[in-house]
């Protein structure tokens, strides 16, 4: 269907919200509480627009498009309302971006930038809140929380771990883990869904803090190396340092739709670990290992395989391929055994 | 899985039996939990431990380890008795119903209660909820397979799902949750002793001929031996050399003392891995390989979805991709392989693997494709067996109940069962390199409150777990989630290896070890 946005005719799909149609057409409407996965909350009121024939401002995240609808996203009335909301948020809490890990990805920063607001103009004197560093992998800074409710919705409605909720009312409102325990003492399983979905720097990945900002990393798709669900990963990589900085789940992926578990999201230390094997090793007669070149190692393996094959037959050699290697590598491994060594003795730990 | 992950919220009922889903497959667990809380799904959990999924279940019950055949036969007994079976589906799509019906006839709820400990009334409730459901799915993992009756258990799950007409439809299916990133792919690629790629049988004349022509050599038509058997043969001196890629049998194999002795008797051991694992330490030659983040290629997940990986970082030092190592070795041994990258290997795979024939890296794209995908026009197959089973008629099999190989007795009065926990993975080669994950979960034994009180051990105190194979000292984790008489030990930890305790008793056909049941005793240290 066709709708009009800021005087321009654009295409939209039935059932879409105004916000979604705008996004699909490259028109920016700031939003804080809306996320595709947790849906419209209609809470933050930053995504308001004017719709011809409707009274007052409407939240674009919750109003569906209709044929011929005429929408304005940048009228004075809209901008003033958005400015008021963002000003209130900037005035409550400490929204200093300088060393924030969310810098460049922060949706409050985006909204403030769009509206030209440098800092909050109201002085509430909100008391500074303690950082919650009790969790192994997740860092919580409530001073940056804007009470959008995404993390609460995600924890209860997406991953259904039912740990996060709001406590208190009014300007005391805050997120709480279980019965207001420190995160690390709560029943949280540290899947990190709250961190991935947080629009600001309130919930971030502890191990990534200060390692690289969002625009400094290259994003590479991969698949989780742990269980067999096949969760799609977005690895955030610092190519120069040859390091994984952060792992996100890929939103919209058919397997995991952005969700991950504690291992998939945070258990990547092994990749760049100092104990990784760097070169072939050959065992000395005294049982210790010495470094060897590839030529020497491959030479030795092929010589020993020939020797054992000619003495005891190919069926005295067993190959174990790997449930953690790729299809391509498992294929070449069984081909090596069947075509080159000449035995069907191939198995792996599918049963273990 | 016969079905896909996305379709799991289309079920009315899901039976989880032998899967600690939220620990071992957390993201599938999240989807099941969501379907139960927000959608129409009703979950039934049958597990020796009161697993976290039980908190989301309509009915939870605890069976004695190793009694799954009796439980499933008991469900079928009640379903048939009450006429809840899908008569049309059985008539049109299955064979062997009469024999199955005759076998399950004796599995009355009272008889099943004596074997499994599940109260007759609870089994009746389970059978009613499952049997009356329009569409019910069944999920299992190693809790079904790692038994001397592993194949019997799997066939029983298939019996139940055929009986209720839950096969070949969205939201139904028999859904084994696979435990490793590419365990499905390793099987699909012929990483098994009796099949080439896509389960084309070794020894089948047309298949032999096809691969001989394709690879340009004559091939052995004698099926190989499974790994569990190879260890026995190595111990007996019959096997001379092992080449192990990315596996750590020194933690994952049953009865580790036996496994270690077997590896030490070998004339030559090659290990290709990313770390100097417990197994690599025993090797004559160690070849350094790459992690998932350092390579391009494909993994195939539990729902048969083939997905792309891309190289994100460089491997350290001179470490290579596994396929490069295989190519160097093949060429050194007289072949002339010329693979330039993973994509070229995938192109060769397509040519000899009918279920992957229609896949290209371009087509895999963002979503991947689910096999079978025989042609480049084929959209892939989210749900298997729609309209017709691969073998034609679905085979129902009468399965009698058999007890586990080792049962508790006066000397070893408790059941020992093993498995995974959320924060660690398999032999720990990857997950245990993370200080954070190690802080979250170390070695422990889950013990019931009653059994802990009986030996006077308190939470976090040291406890010694002993079986006829050996003993470990570990930390007691006393929990109401463990029933009296059952001890649960996760197997990830080299310093307290569960598999020093497990029994090397195998399923006669699948050769899978009975990790889920043996007899043990516990003492305060």
Note the pLDDT tens digit of each residue in A225-246. Answer: 999 999 999 999 999 999 999 9
Residues B165 and B192 in one domain: no
Specify whether B97 is located in the same domain as B58.
yes
Q: Return the CATH number at A260.
A: 3.30.70.20
Q: Where are the alpha helices (DSSP H) in A53-136?
A: 76-91, 107-115
Helix, strand, coil percentages for chain B (3-state, nearest 5): 35, 20, 45
**pLDDT exceeds cutoff 80 at A352:** no
Same domain? A183 vs A56: no
Do B205 and B140 lie in one domain? The reply is no
Same domain as B193, residue B117? no
B5 contacts A347? CB cut-off 8 A: no
Domains in chain A, number: 3
Residues 6+ apart with CB under 8 A from A351: B145, B146, B226, B227, B228, B510, B511, B512, B513
Are B208 and B337 within one domain? Answer: yes
Is there a domain that residue A288 lies in? yes
Q: Tokens standing for B275?
A: 């770390």
**Dihedral of the alpha carbons of A152, A156, A161, A162, in degrees to the nearest 10:** 80
Using CB atoms, pick whichever of A244, A276, A339 lies closest to residue B217: A339
Query: Using a CB-CB distance cutoff of 8 angstroms, which residues of chain A are in contact with residue B139?
Result: none
- Nearest CB to B422: which of A189, A280, A334? A189
The CB-side HSE value for B484 (13 A sphere, CA atoms) comes to 6
Q: What is the C-alpha separation between B65 and B151, in angstroms, rounded?
A: 16
Select from A266, A301, A333 the last residue of a domain. Answer: A266
Residue B497 lies in a domain: yes
First and final C-alpha spacing in chain A: 55
Tell if the CB–CB gap between B305 and A329 is shorter than 8 Å: no
Q: Where are the beta strands (DSSP E) in B258-402?
A: 268-273, 285-288, 297-300, 305-309, 369-370, 394-395
Range of the domain at B298: 183-370
Do residue B112 and residue B187 come from a single domain?
Answer: no
pLDDT of B269 reads: 97
Q: Does A11 touch chain B if contact means CB atoms closer than 8 Å? A: no
Quick one: A10 and A44 in the same domain? yes
Q: A212 and A143, same structural domain?
A: yes
Indicate whether A350 pLDDT > 80: no
Residue that terminates a domain, selected from B338, B370, B402: B370
CATH number at residue B493: 2.40.40.20
Q: Are residues B202 and B346 in the same domain?
A: yes
Residues in B closer than 8 angstroms to A317, CB to CB, are 239-243
Look at residue B221 in the predicted model and tell me its pLDDT: 95
Helix (H, G, I), strand (E, B) or coil at A140: strand
Give A287-329 pLDDT, tens digit per residue: 999 999 999 999 999 999 999 999 999 999 999 999 999 999 9
The predicted structure's pLDDT at residue B350: 97
Residue A138 shares a structural domain with residue A258: yes
Domain that holds residue A317: 281-351
Strands lying side by side in the sheet with B59-61:
B59-61, B42-46, B13-17, B136-140, B174-176
**A213 in a structural domain:** yes
Q: How far from chain centre, in Å, is Cα B274?
A: 23
Q: Do B210 and B114 fall into the same domain?
A: no
The residue among B147, B177, B207 that closes a domain is B177
Residues B17 and B122 in one domain: yes
CB A318 within 8 A of CB B243: yes
Q: Is a pLDDT exceeding 90 seen at residue A172?
A: no
Confidence band for A92, pLDDT divided at 50, 70 and 90? confident
Residue window 172-231, chain A: list those with CB within 8 Å of chain B.
189-191, 207, 218, 220-231
Residue B491: φ, ψ to 5°: -100, 10
Is residue A99 less than 8 Å (CB to CB) from chain B?
no
Chain A residues within 8 A of B25 when measuring between CB atoms:
227-229
Which residue of chain B has the CA closest to A286? Answer: B284
Are A271 and B327 in contact (CB < 8 Å)?
A: no
Which member of A190, A263, A348 has the closest CB to residue B425? A263
Instruction: Name B305's bridge partners.
Output: B370
Question: Does some domain include residue B391?
Answer: no
Whole-angstrom distance, CA of residue A255 vs CA of residue B8: 11
Mean pLDDT, chain B cut into blocks of 10 residues (525 residues total): 95 97 97 95 97 97 96 98 97 96 97 97 98 97 95 96 96 96 96 96 97 96 93 95 93 85 95 95 97 97 97 97 97 96 98 97 97 97 94 95 96 96 92 94 96 96 96 96 96 91 91 94 95
- Are both A218 and A309 inside the same structural domain? no
Instruction: For residue B28, give the nearest of A229, A300, A321 by CB distance.
Output: A229
In a shared domain, residues A133 and A228? yes
Query: What's the burial of B293, exposed, middle or buried (CB within 10 Å: 0-12/13-18/19+)?
Result: buried
A67, A178: one domain? no
A9-14 LR contacts (CB < 8 Å, sep 24+): A12/A65, A13/A65, A14/A65
Is the residue at A83 inside a domain? no
Residue B389 in any domain: the answer is no
- Residue at a domain's end among A74, A91, A107: A74
Same domain, A245 and A294: no
Please check whether residues A308 and A248 belong to one and the same domain.
no
| Contacts of residue B467, Cβ cutoff 8 Å, sequence gap at least 6 | B412, B416, B501, B502, B503, B518, B519, B520, B521
Looking at the fold, whether A259 and A285 belong to one and the same domain comes out as no
A272 domain residue, yes or no: no
Query: Do A234 and A323 lie in a common domain?
Result: no
Question: Last residue of a domain, which of A234, A266, A298?
Answer: A266
Domain-located, residue B396:
no
Average pLDDT over residues A257-285: 96
* Mean pLDDT score of chain A: 94
| CA nearest to A306 within chain B | B333
Residues A127 and A244 in one domain: yes
Do the Cβ atoms of A269 and B435 come within 8 Å? Answer: yes
Q: Is residue A165 part of a domain?
A: yes
Q: Say if B387 falls within a structural domain.
A: no
Do B137 and B188 lie in one domain? The reply is no
User: Does residue B385 sit within a domain?
Assistant: no
d(CA A323, CA B292): 12
Q: Is the separation of the CB atoms in B49 and B42 below 8 Å?
A: no
Find, among B520, B517, B501, the residue nearest to B67 by Cα. B517
Whether A49 is covered by a domain: the verdict is yes
Residue where a domain stops, chosen among B341, B370, B399: B370
Residue B251: phi, psi to the nearest 5? -115, -35
Q: Number of A:B CB contacts under 8 A?
A: 465
Residues of B in Cβ contact (< 8 Å) with A259: 27, 30
Please list every residue in chain B whose beta carbon sits closer than 8 Å to the beta carbon of residue A335.
215, 326, 330
pLDDT for B459: 96
Q: Is residue B399 part of a domain?
A: no
- Looking at the structure of chain B, the number of domains it has is 3
Query: What CATH number does residue B87 fall under?
Result: 3.40.228.10
Query: Is there a domain that residue B495 lies in?
Result: yes
Enumerate residues 6+ apart whose C-beta is below 8 A from A120: A87, A88, A89, A90, A91, A92, A95
* B-proximal residues of A, 244-303, CB under 8 Å: 244, 253-256, 259-264, 266-273, 275-283, 289, 292, 294, 297-302
Structure pTM? 0.94
Non-local CB neighbours of A310 within 8 Å, separated by 6+ positions: none
Domain of A15: which CATH number?
A: 3.10.20.740
In a domain, A215, yes or no: yes
**Residues B143, B189: one domain?**
no
For residue A259, the model assigns a pLDDT of: 97
Q: Would A308 be classed as within a structural domain?
A: yes
CATH number at residue B187: 3.40.50.740
CA distances to B129, B145, B154, B359 from B163, in Å: 15, 21, 14, 34
* pLDDT of residue A126 exceeding 80: no
Whether B301 sits inside 8 A of A321 (CB atoms) is no
Could you tell me if B275 and B158 lie in one domain? no
Cβ atoms B510, B145 nearer than 8 A: yes
Contact: B224, A342; criterion CB under 8 Å: no
Tokens of B48: 């020796």
């Amino acid at each position: 269907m066709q709708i009009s946005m800021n005087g321009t005719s654009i295409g939209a799909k039935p059932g879409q919200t105004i916000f979604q149609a705008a996004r699909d057409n490259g028109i920016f409407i700031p939003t804080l509480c809306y996320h595709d996965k947790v849906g419209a909350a209609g809470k933050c009121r930053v995504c308001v627009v004017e719709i011809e024939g409707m009274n007052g401002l409407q939240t674009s995240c919750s109003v569906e498009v209709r044929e011929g609808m005429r929408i304005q996203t940048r009228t004075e009335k809209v901008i003033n309302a958005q400015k008021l909301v963002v000003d209130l948020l900037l005035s409550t809490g400490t929204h200093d971006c300088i060393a924030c890990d969310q810098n460049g990805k922060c949706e409050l920063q985006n909204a403030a930038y769009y509206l030209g607001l440098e800092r909050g103009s109201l002085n509430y004197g909100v008391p500074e809140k303690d950082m919650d560093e009790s969790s192994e992998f997740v860092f919580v800074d409530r001073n940056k929380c804007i009470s959008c409710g995404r993390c609460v919705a995600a924890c209860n409605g997406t991953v259904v771990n039912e740990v996060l909720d709001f406590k208190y009312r009014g300007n005391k409102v805050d997120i709480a883990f279980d019965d207001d325990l420190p995160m690390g003492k709560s029943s949280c399983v540290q899947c990190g869904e709250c961190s991935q979905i947080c629009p600001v720097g309130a919930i971030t990945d502890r191990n990534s803090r200060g390692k690289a900002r969002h625009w400094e990393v290259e994003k590479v798709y991969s698949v989780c190396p742990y269980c067999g669900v096949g969760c799609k990963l977005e690895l955030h990589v610092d190519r120069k340092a040859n390091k994984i900085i952060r792992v996100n789940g890929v939103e919209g992926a058919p397997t995991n739709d952005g969700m991950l578990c504690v291992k998939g999201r945070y258990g990547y230390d092994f990749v760049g670990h100092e104990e990784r094997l760097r070169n072939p090793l050959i065992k000395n007669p005294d049982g210790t290992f010495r470094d060897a070149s590839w030529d020497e190692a491959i030479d030795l393996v092929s010589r020993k395989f020939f020797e054992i094959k000619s003495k005891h037959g190919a069926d005295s050699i067993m190959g174990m391929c790997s449930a953690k290697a790729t299809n391509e590598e498992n294929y070449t491994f069984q081909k090596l055994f069947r075509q080159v060594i000449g035995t069907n003795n191939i198995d792996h730990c599918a049963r273990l | 899985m016969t079905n896909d992950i996305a379709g799991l919220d289309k079920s009315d009922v899901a039976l989880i039996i032998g899967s600690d889903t939220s620990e071992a497959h957390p993201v599938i667990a999240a989807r099941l939990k969501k379907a139960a809380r927000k959608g129409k799904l009703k979950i039934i959990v049958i597990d020796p431990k009161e697993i976290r999924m039980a908190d989301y279940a309509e009915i939870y019950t605890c069976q004695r380890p190793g009694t799954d055949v009796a439980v499933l036969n008991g469900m079928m007994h009640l379903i048939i008795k009450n006429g809840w079976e899908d008569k049309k589906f059985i008539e049109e799509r299955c064979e062997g119903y009469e024999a199955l019906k005759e076998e399950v006839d004796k599995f009355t709820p009272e008889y099943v209660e004596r074997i499994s400990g599940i109260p007759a009334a609870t089994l009746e409730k389970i059978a009613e909820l499952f049997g009356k459901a329009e569409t019910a799915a069944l999920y299992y993992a190693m809790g079904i397979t790692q038994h001397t009756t592993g194949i019997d258990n799997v066939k029983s799950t298939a019996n139940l799902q055929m009986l209720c007409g839950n096969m070949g439809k969205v939201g139904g299916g028999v859904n084994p949750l696979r435990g490793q990133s590419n365990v499905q792919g390793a099987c699909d690629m012929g990483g098994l002793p009796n099949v080439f790629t896509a389960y084309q049988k070794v020894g089948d004349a047309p298949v032999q001929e096809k691969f001989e022509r394709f690879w340009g050599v004559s091939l052995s038509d004698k099926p190989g031996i499974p790994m569990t058997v190879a260890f026995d043969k190595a111990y007996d001196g019959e096997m001379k050399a092992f080449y192990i890629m990315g596996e750590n049998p020194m933690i994952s194999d049953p009865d580790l003392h036996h496994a270690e002795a077997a590896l030490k008797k070998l004339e030559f051991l090659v290990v290709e891995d990313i770390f100097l694992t417990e197994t690599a330490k025993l090797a004559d030659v160690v070849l350094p390989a790459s992690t998932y983040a350092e390579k391009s290629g494909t993994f195939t997940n539990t729902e048969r979805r083939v997905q792309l990986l891309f190289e994100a970082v460089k491997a350290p030092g001179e470490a290579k991709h596994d396929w490069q190592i295989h190519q160097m070795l093949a060429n050194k041994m007289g072949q002339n392989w010329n693979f330039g990258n993973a994509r070229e290997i995938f192109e060769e795979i397509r040519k000899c693997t009918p279920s992957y024939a229609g896949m290209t890296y371009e087509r895999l794209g963002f979503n991947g494709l689910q096999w079978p995908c025989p042609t480049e026009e084929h959209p892939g197959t989210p749900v298997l067996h729609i309209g017709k089973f691969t073998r034609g008629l679905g085979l129902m099999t009468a399965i009698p109940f058999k007890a586990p190989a080792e049962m508790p007795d006066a000397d070893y009065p408790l059941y020992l069962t093993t498995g995974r926990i959320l924060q660690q993975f398999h032999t720990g080669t990857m997950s245990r390199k993370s200080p954070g994950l190690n802080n979250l979960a170390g070695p422990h034994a889950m013990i019931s409150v009653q059994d802990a009180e009986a030996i006077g051990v308190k939470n976090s105190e040291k406890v010694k777990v002993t079986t006829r194979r050996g003993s470990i000292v570990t930390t007691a984790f006393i929990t109401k989630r463990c029933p009296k008489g059952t001890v649960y030990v996760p197997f990830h930890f080299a310093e307290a290896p569960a598999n020093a305790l497990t029994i090397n008793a195998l399923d006669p056909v699948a050769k899978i070890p009975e990790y889920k049941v043996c007899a043990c005793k516990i003492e305060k240290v």
